[in-house]
Amino acid sequence: MENVVVGMSGGVDSSVAALKLLQQGKQVTGLFMKNWEEDDAEQYCAAAADLADAQEVCKQLGIPLRTINFAHEYWERVFRVCLHEYRSGRTPNPDVVCNKEIKFKEFLNWALHLGAERIATGHYARLDRRQQRCVLRKGRDADKDQSYFLHSVGQAALRRASFPLGEMRKTQVRNTARELGLATHDKKDSTGICFIGERRFRDFLSRFLPAQPGKIKTLQGNTVGAHGGAHYYTIGQRRGLGLGGRDGERNGAAWYVADKDMARNIVYVVQGRDHPSLRKRIVFAENLHWVGEVAPPLPARCTAQTRYRQRPQPCVITVLSAAHSRIEFARPQWAVAPGQSIVFYRQDVCLGGGLIRAASA
Protein backbone atom coordinates (compact mmCIF):
# COMPACT_ATOMS: atom_id res chain seq x y z
CA MET A 1 0.00 0.00 0.00
CA GLU A 2 1.53 3.29 -1.14
CA ASN A 3 2.13 5.83 1.62
CA VAL A 4 1.04 9.34 0.55
CA VAL A 5 1.17 12.61 2.49
CA VAL A 6 -1.40 15.13 1.28
CA GLY A 7 -1.21 18.85 1.97
CA MET A 8 -4.35 19.85 3.88
CA SER A 9 -5.17 23.57 3.67
CA GLY A 10 -8.58 23.42 5.29
CA GLY A 11 -10.28 23.93 1.92
CA VAL A 12 -12.54 21.75 -0.19
CA ASP A 13 -9.90 20.93 -2.82
CA SER A 14 -7.39 19.35 -0.45
CA SER A 15 -10.26 17.61 1.36
CA VAL A 16 -11.43 15.85 -1.80
CA ALA A 17 -7.83 15.15 -2.84
CA ALA A 18 -7.38 13.19 0.39
CA LEU A 19 -10.68 11.39 -0.20
CA LYS A 20 -9.67 10.39 -3.74
CA LEU A 21 -6.40 8.95 -2.47
CA LEU A 22 -8.26 6.84 0.08
CA GLN A 23 -10.59 5.59 -2.64
CA GLN A 24 -7.50 4.57 -4.62
CA GLY A 25 -6.39 2.40 -1.72
CA LYS A 26 -3.52 4.62 -0.54
CA GLN A 27 -2.29 4.96 3.01
CA VAL A 28 -2.96 8.66 3.58
CA THR A 29 -1.60 11.14 6.10
CA GLY A 30 -2.66 14.79 6.12
CA LEU A 31 -0.25 17.66 6.66
CA PHE A 32 -1.23 21.20 7.61
CA MET A 33 1.56 23.67 6.83
CA LYS A 34 1.94 26.86 8.80
CA ASN A 35 3.80 29.23 6.49
CA TRP A 36 3.39 32.57 8.22
CA GLU A 37 3.77 33.76 11.79
CA GLU A 38 0.50 35.50 12.63
CA ASP A 39 0.97 39.15 13.44
CA ASP A 40 -2.61 40.17 14.12
CA ALA A 41 -5.83 38.71 15.47
CA GLU A 42 -7.52 38.64 12.06
CA GLN A 43 -4.83 36.46 10.48
CA TYR A 44 -4.58 34.27 13.59
CA CYS A 45 -8.31 33.57 13.50
CA ALA A 46 -8.18 32.72 9.80
CA ALA A 47 -5.28 30.28 10.26
CA ALA A 48 -6.93 28.73 13.30
CA ALA A 49 -10.18 28.26 11.37
CA ASP A 50 -8.33 26.59 8.47
CA LEU A 51 -6.56 24.23 10.87
CA ALA A 52 -9.87 23.39 12.56
CA ASP A 53 -11.44 22.59 9.19
CA ALA A 54 -8.49 20.39 8.22
CA GLN A 55 -8.74 18.56 11.55
CA GLU A 56 -12.47 17.99 11.10
CA VAL A 57 -12.07 16.63 7.56
CA CYS A 58 -9.25 14.30 8.58
CA LYS A 59 -11.40 13.07 11.45
CA GLN A 60 -14.26 12.40 9.04
CA LEU A 61 -11.95 10.55 6.65
CA GLY A 62 -10.24 8.63 9.43
CA ILE A 63 -6.71 9.76 8.59
CA PRO A 64 -4.06 11.30 10.86
CA LEU A 65 -3.19 14.98 10.55
CA ARG A 66 0.20 16.40 11.29
CA THR A 67 1.16 20.07 11.45
CA ILE A 68 4.50 21.64 10.63
CA ASN A 69 5.85 25.19 10.72
CA PHE A 70 7.65 26.38 7.60
CA ALA A 71 7.40 30.08 8.52
CA HIS A 72 11.17 30.59 8.58
CA GLU A 73 11.64 28.92 5.20
CA TYR A 74 8.73 30.94 3.83
CA TRP A 75 10.22 34.21 5.02
CA GLU A 76 13.65 33.47 3.58
CA ARG A 77 12.70 31.84 0.27
CA VAL A 78 9.36 33.38 -0.65
CA PHE A 79 8.66 36.62 1.16
CA ARG A 80 12.14 38.16 0.99
CA VAL A 81 12.28 37.36 -2.72
CA CYS A 82 8.92 39.03 -3.26
CA LEU A 83 9.92 42.13 -1.27
CA HIS A 84 13.02 42.52 -3.43
CA GLU A 85 10.88 42.34 -6.55
CA TYR A 86 8.41 44.93 -5.26
CA ARG A 87 11.24 47.29 -4.30
CA SER A 88 12.54 46.95 -7.86
CA GLY A 89 9.16 47.94 -9.27
CA ARG A 90 8.15 44.47 -10.41
CA THR A 91 5.08 42.42 -9.50
CA PRO A 92 6.10 38.94 -8.28
CA ASN A 93 3.96 35.84 -8.21
CA PRO A 94 4.44 34.36 -4.71
CA ASP A 95 2.42 31.22 -5.51
CA VAL A 96 4.98 30.20 -8.14
CA VAL A 97 7.85 30.67 -5.68
CA CYS A 98 5.91 28.89 -2.94
CA ASN A 99 5.34 25.81 -5.05
CA LYS A 100 8.99 25.57 -6.00
CA GLU A 101 10.54 26.33 -2.62
CA ILE A 102 7.98 25.16 -0.04
CA LYS A 103 5.35 22.73 -1.29
CA PHE A 104 7.59 20.77 -3.64
CA LYS A 105 10.81 21.10 -1.68
CA GLU A 106 10.40 21.52 2.08
CA PHE A 107 7.06 19.69 2.27
CA LEU A 108 8.36 16.94 -0.02
CA ASN A 109 11.58 16.49 1.95
CA TRP A 110 9.64 16.35 5.22
CA ALA A 111 7.25 13.71 3.83
CA LEU A 112 10.07 11.56 2.46
CA HIS A 113 11.85 11.77 5.81
CA LEU A 114 8.73 10.29 7.41
CA GLY A 115 8.76 7.40 4.96
CA ALA A 116 6.20 8.61 2.44
CA GLU A 117 6.56 7.49 -1.15
CA ARG A 118 4.61 10.37 -2.62
CA ILE A 119 3.04 13.73 -1.78
CA ALA A 120 -0.27 15.05 -3.07
CA THR A 121 -1.90 18.46 -3.31
CA GLY A 122 -5.26 19.84 -4.42
CA HIS A 123 -3.85 21.49 -7.54
CA TYR A 124 -5.91 21.29 -10.73
CA ALA A 125 -3.20 19.82 -12.97
CA ARG A 126 -2.30 16.43 -14.43
CA LEU A 127 0.84 14.33 -14.70
CA ASP A 128 1.72 11.76 -17.33
CA ARG A 129 4.49 9.43 -16.16
CA ARG A 130 6.74 8.22 -18.95
CA GLN A 131 9.43 5.99 -17.51
CA GLN A 132 11.55 8.45 -15.50
CA ARG A 133 10.04 11.58 -17.06
CA CYS A 134 6.90 13.40 -15.99
CA VAL A 135 4.82 15.46 -18.40
CA LEU A 136 2.89 18.30 -16.76
CA ARG A 137 -0.53 18.92 -18.31
CA LYS A 138 -3.29 21.41 -17.74
CA GLY A 139 -6.08 20.35 -15.41
CA ARG A 140 -9.24 19.06 -17.07
CA ASP A 141 -11.18 22.05 -15.72
CA ALA A 142 -9.92 24.91 -17.91
CA ASP A 143 -11.35 27.50 -15.52
CA LYS A 144 -9.41 26.11 -12.54
CA ASP A 145 -6.21 24.86 -14.21
CA GLN A 146 -3.15 25.61 -12.05
CA SER A 147 -0.31 24.30 -14.19
CA TYR A 148 0.73 27.96 -14.62
CA PHE A 149 1.80 27.99 -10.95
CA LEU A 150 3.65 24.66 -11.25
CA HIS A 151 5.88 25.40 -14.25
CA SER A 152 9.06 25.82 -12.14
CA VAL A 153 8.74 22.52 -10.25
CA GLY A 154 11.53 20.12 -11.20
CA GLN A 155 11.37 16.54 -12.42
CA ALA A 156 12.62 15.04 -9.15
CA ALA A 157 9.68 16.61 -7.30
CA LEU A 158 7.12 15.82 -10.00
CA ARG A 159 8.11 12.14 -9.91
CA ARG A 160 7.05 12.12 -6.25
CA ALA A 161 3.91 14.23 -6.78
CA SER A 162 0.24 13.42 -7.28
CA PHE A 163 -2.65 15.67 -8.30
CA PRO A 164 -5.84 13.71 -7.52
CA LEU A 165 -8.11 16.49 -8.80
CA GLY A 166 -6.48 16.78 -12.22
CA GLU A 167 -9.29 15.00 -14.07
CA MET A 168 -12.09 16.65 -12.09
CA ARG A 169 -14.05 19.85 -12.53
CA LYS A 170 -14.64 22.16 -9.60
CA THR A 171 -18.38 21.41 -9.61
CA GLN A 172 -17.57 17.70 -9.28
CA VAL A 173 -15.24 18.39 -6.39
CA ARG A 174 -17.88 20.34 -4.49
CA ASN A 175 -20.58 17.78 -5.26
CA THR A 176 -18.34 14.96 -4.07
CA ALA A 177 -17.60 16.80 -0.82
CA ARG A 178 -21.29 17.59 -0.33
CA GLU A 179 -22.42 14.01 -0.94
CA LEU A 180 -20.03 12.72 1.72
CA GLY A 181 -20.86 15.54 4.11
CA LEU A 182 -17.31 16.82 4.36
CA ALA A 183 -17.05 19.86 6.59
CA THR A 184 -15.50 21.98 3.83
CA HIS A 185 -18.03 21.22 1.07
CA ASP A 186 -19.42 24.79 0.96
CA LYS A 187 -16.34 26.68 2.12
CA LYS A 188 -15.52 29.69 -0.03
CA ASP A 189 -12.40 29.39 -2.18
CA SER A 190 -9.43 31.37 -0.94
CA THR A 191 -8.59 34.34 -3.16
CA GLY A 192 -5.83 35.93 -1.09
CA ILE A 193 -2.13 35.98 -1.86
CA CYS A 194 -0.63 32.84 -0.39
CA PHE A 195 1.30 34.41 2.49
CA ILE A 196 -1.19 37.05 3.63
CA GLY A 197 -4.59 35.45 3.11
CA GLU A 198 -7.58 37.70 2.51
CA ARG A 199 -6.22 40.92 4.00
CA ARG A 200 -5.90 44.16 2.00
CA PHE A 201 -2.68 43.77 0.09
CA ARG A 202 -1.45 47.37 0.13
CA ASP A 203 -2.06 47.73 3.86
CA PHE A 204 -0.06 44.58 4.47
CA LEU A 205 2.78 45.47 2.11
CA SER A 206 3.15 48.94 3.66
CA ARG A 207 4.40 47.31 6.86
CA PHE A 208 7.54 46.21 5.01
CA LEU A 209 7.75 48.78 2.20
CA PRO A 210 6.92 52.21 3.64
CA ALA A 211 4.86 54.69 1.66
CA GLN A 212 6.74 56.95 -0.75
CA PRO A 213 4.30 59.60 -1.99
CA GLY A 214 4.71 60.56 -5.63
CA LYS A 215 2.91 61.79 -8.71
CA ILE A 216 0.56 60.04 -11.11
CA LYS A 217 1.10 61.34 -14.62
CA THR A 218 -0.15 60.75 -18.11
CA LEU A 219 2.32 59.60 -20.75
CA GLN A 220 2.35 63.21 -21.97
CA GLY A 221 3.67 64.34 -18.58
CA ASN A 222 0.51 65.88 -17.16
CA THR A 223 0.03 65.32 -13.42
CA VAL A 224 -3.43 63.89 -12.75
CA GLY A 225 -3.09 62.59 -9.20
CA ALA A 226 -0.90 61.33 -6.39
CA HIS A 227 0.09 57.90 -5.11
CA GLY A 228 1.60 56.40 -1.97
CA GLY A 229 4.46 54.54 -3.63
CA ALA A 230 5.12 53.28 -7.15
CA HIS A 231 6.05 49.86 -5.76
CA TYR A 232 2.40 49.31 -4.77
CA TYR A 233 1.18 49.39 -8.38
CA THR A 234 1.26 46.93 -11.26
CA ILE A 235 0.92 47.31 -15.01
CA GLY A 236 -2.74 47.14 -16.01
CA GLN A 237 -4.03 48.07 -12.54
CA ARG A 238 -7.31 49.97 -12.57
CA ARG A 239 -8.55 50.00 -8.99
CA GLY A 240 -7.07 52.10 -6.24
CA LEU A 241 -5.87 55.00 -8.41
CA GLY A 242 -8.45 57.47 -7.10
CA LEU A 243 -8.67 59.32 -10.41
CA GLY A 244 -12.25 58.86 -11.47
CA GLY A 245 -12.57 60.08 -15.07
CA ARG A 246 -10.34 63.17 -14.78
CA ASP A 247 -8.08 64.28 -17.62
CA GLY A 248 -7.76 67.12 -20.08
CA GLU A 249 -10.29 65.54 -22.43
CA ARG A 250 -12.65 64.53 -19.60
CA ASN A 251 -13.91 61.54 -21.55
CA GLY A 252 -14.71 59.61 -18.38
CA ALA A 253 -12.90 56.41 -19.40
CA ALA A 254 -11.26 54.33 -16.64
CA TRP A 255 -7.58 54.86 -15.88
CA TYR A 256 -4.99 52.08 -16.05
CA VAL A 257 -1.36 51.90 -14.98
CA ALA A 258 0.73 51.80 -18.16
CA ASP A 259 4.27 52.28 -16.83
CA LYS A 260 6.35 53.17 -13.77
CA ASP A 261 9.53 55.16 -13.27
CA MET A 262 10.96 53.78 -10.05
CA ALA A 263 13.93 56.15 -9.98
CA ARG A 264 11.61 59.18 -10.02
CA ASN A 265 8.74 57.43 -8.20
CA ILE A 266 6.23 58.23 -10.94
CA VAL A 267 3.24 56.11 -11.96
CA TYR A 268 2.12 56.65 -15.55
CA VAL A 269 -1.51 56.10 -16.48
CA VAL A 270 -3.66 56.01 -19.60
CA GLN A 271 -7.41 56.02 -20.16
CA GLY A 272 -9.25 53.05 -21.59
CA ARG A 273 -8.47 49.36 -21.41
CA ASP A 274 -7.71 49.28 -25.13
CA HIS A 275 -5.09 52.02 -25.04
CA PRO A 276 -2.19 50.98 -27.34
CA SER A 277 0.44 51.48 -24.63
CA LEU A 278 -1.07 48.62 -22.64
CA ARG A 279 -0.32 46.10 -25.38
CA LYS A 280 3.13 44.61 -25.96
CA ARG A 281 4.21 42.13 -28.58
CA ILE A 282 7.77 41.37 -27.46
CA VAL A 283 8.50 39.91 -24.03
CA PHE A 284 11.96 39.54 -22.51
CA ALA A 285 12.31 36.85 -19.85
CA GLU A 286 14.97 35.24 -17.68
CA ASN A 287 15.52 32.22 -15.42
CA LEU A 288 13.65 29.93 -17.80
CA HIS A 289 12.91 26.46 -16.46
CA TRP A 290 11.86 23.58 -18.70
CA VAL A 291 9.65 20.92 -17.14
CA GLY A 292 11.22 18.24 -19.35
CA GLU A 293 14.72 19.57 -18.51
CA VAL A 294 15.53 20.12 -22.20
CA ALA A 295 15.01 23.44 -23.98
CA PRO A 296 13.24 23.31 -27.35
CA PRO A 297 15.23 23.99 -30.54
CA LEU A 298 14.98 27.54 -31.88
CA PRO A 299 12.93 29.12 -33.21
CA ALA A 300 10.42 27.46 -30.87
CA ARG A 301 6.76 27.88 -31.78
CA CYS A 302 4.30 27.38 -28.95
CA THR A 303 1.69 29.26 -26.96
CA ALA A 304 2.23 31.22 -23.78
CA GLN A 305 0.44 32.92 -20.90
CA THR A 306 1.76 36.12 -19.34
CA ARG A 307 -0.77 35.97 -16.50
CA TYR A 308 -2.95 33.40 -14.75
CA ARG A 309 -6.36 32.65 -16.32
CA GLN A 310 -5.23 34.05 -19.64
CA ARG A 311 -5.85 31.87 -22.66
CA PRO A 312 -2.45 30.76 -24.08
CA GLN A 313 -1.50 32.86 -27.11
CA PRO A 314 0.66 31.88 -30.13
CA CYS A 315 4.27 32.99 -29.89
CA VAL A 316 7.80 32.24 -31.07
CA ILE A 317 10.83 32.01 -28.79
CA THR A 318 13.63 33.54 -30.87
CA VAL A 319 16.43 33.92 -28.32
CA LEU A 320 17.00 31.46 -25.54
CA SER A 321 19.56 31.57 -22.75
CA ALA A 322 19.55 31.37 -18.97
CA ALA A 323 20.07 35.11 -18.65
CA HIS A 324 18.05 36.47 -21.54
CA SER A 325 15.21 35.17 -23.69
CA ARG A 326 13.09 36.92 -26.32
CA ILE A 327 9.51 35.87 -27.04
CA GLU A 328 7.49 37.38 -29.86
CA PHE A 329 3.70 37.01 -29.84
CA ALA A 330 1.56 36.82 -32.94
CA ARG A 331 -0.61 39.57 -31.45
CA PRO A 332 0.18 42.19 -28.82
CA GLN A 333 -0.62 41.06 -25.27
CA TRP A 334 -2.47 43.17 -22.72
CA ALA A 335 -0.76 44.52 -19.59
CA VAL A 336 2.40 42.43 -19.53
CA ALA A 337 3.78 42.99 -16.02
CA PRO A 338 7.50 42.59 -15.20
CA GLY A 339 7.93 40.14 -12.33
CA GLN A 340 5.08 37.90 -13.41
CA SER A 341 5.64 34.52 -15.06
CA ILE A 342 5.47 33.73 -18.74
CA VAL A 343 4.52 30.06 -19.11
CA PHE A 344 4.78 28.06 -22.34
CA TYR A 345 2.44 25.36 -23.66
CA ARG A 346 1.96 23.02 -26.57
CA GLN A 347 -1.71 22.12 -26.56
CA ASP A 348 -2.32 21.12 -22.91
CA VAL A 349 1.31 20.29 -22.09
CA CYS A 350 3.15 22.79 -19.90
CA LEU A 351 6.66 23.15 -21.32
CA GLY A 352 8.02 25.49 -18.66
CA GLY A 353 8.40 29.20 -18.13
CA GLY A 354 10.36 32.07 -16.67
CA LEU A 355 10.25 35.56 -15.20
CA ILE A 356 9.12 38.51 -17.30
CA ARG A 357 11.70 41.29 -17.07
CA ALA A 358 10.52 43.71 -19.76
CA ALA A 359 8.18 44.05 -22.73
CA SER A 360 8.01 46.23 -25.81
CA ALA A 361 5.66 46.96 -28.67
Q: Is 194 a catalytic residue?
A: yes
What's the rounded Cα separation, in Å, for the pair 342 and 354? Answer: 6
Q: Is 98 a catalytic residue?
A: yes
Cis check for the bond before 338: say yes or no (omega within 30 of 0): no
Which stretches does DSSP call E strand in 108-265? 118-120, 125-130, 133-138, 161-162, 214-218, 223-227, 255-261
Q: Is 163 helix (H, G, I), strand (E, B) or coil?
A: coil
Please pick, among 194, 302, 315, 350, the residue that the annotation labels catalytic: 194
Write the CB contacts of 124 (distance below 8 Å, at least 6 apart in sequence). 13, 139, 140, 141, 144, 145, 146, 163, 165, 166, 168, 170
How far out from the chain centre does Cα 139 lie? 15
Q: Is 2 helix (H, G, I), strand (E, B) or coil?
A: coil
Kindly report the number of other CB atoms within 10 A of residue 216's CB atom.
21
User: Are 165 and 172 contacting, i.e. CB atoms less than 8 angstroms apart?
Assistant: no
What's the rounded Cα separation, in Å, for the pair 351 and 353? Answer: 7
User: Are 14 and 8 contacting, i.e. CB atoms less than 8 angstroms apart?
Assistant: yes
Judging by DSSP bridges, how do beta strands 313-319 and 300-305 pair with one another? Answer: antiparallel
Please pick, among 98, 302, 315, 350, the residue that the annotation labels catalytic: 98
Active site residues: 98, 194
